[in-house]
Amino acid sequence: MREDGAALEDRTPTLTPAILCNHPDDVAAVEPLDSHRLHVSFNDGTEGFVDMSSLIDSESAGVFAALRDPAVFGSVFVQYGVVTWPGEIDLAPDAMYAEIKANGAWKL
């Protein structure tokens, strides 16, 4: 039993391991561009472009319709190696990587 007022040891780092994003197909950086395009860089140095204009502008855009707002599209960030937007919108990094590695660009 501990004495009143004694601080508990913070054991969080030993209980929850850090999430490592060190796979070659994990996204390292993303930059929003005009016309619903992105420039992405991966951990292995591969980089290229993602063109989302057809998807975002389509009637079947679904959750991606929110990205029609330039402010929302511009709020893109990388979380755990994944291109992400607020509202739990994201892109699959493995599919993006494969297409960019092969062609330099991924058109959705």
Q: What is the 3-state secondary structure (H, E, C) of the chain?
A: CCCCCCCCCCCHHHHCCCCCCCCCCCEEEEEEECCCEEEEEECCCCEEEEECHHHHHCCCCHHHHHHHCHHHHCCCEEECCEEEECCCEECCHHHHHHHHHHHCEEEC
**CATH numeric code, 21-107:** 3.30.2020.10
| Mean pLDDT in residue range 3-17 | 64
AA identity, residue 7: A
CB atoms within 10 A of CB 9: 7
Query: What local confidence, expressed as pLDDT, does residue 13 receive?
Result: 61
Structure tokens at 55: 């998807």
Strand duo 37-42 + 47-51: pairing: antiparallel
* pLDDT tens digits, one per residue of 34-88: 999 999 999 999 999 999 999 999 999 999 999 999 999 999 999 999 999 999 9
- Domain spans, the chain: 21-107
Query: What local confidence, expressed as pLDDT, does residue 4 receive?
Result: 60
pTM of the predicted model over 0.85: no
CA atoms within 13 A on the CB side of 73: 21
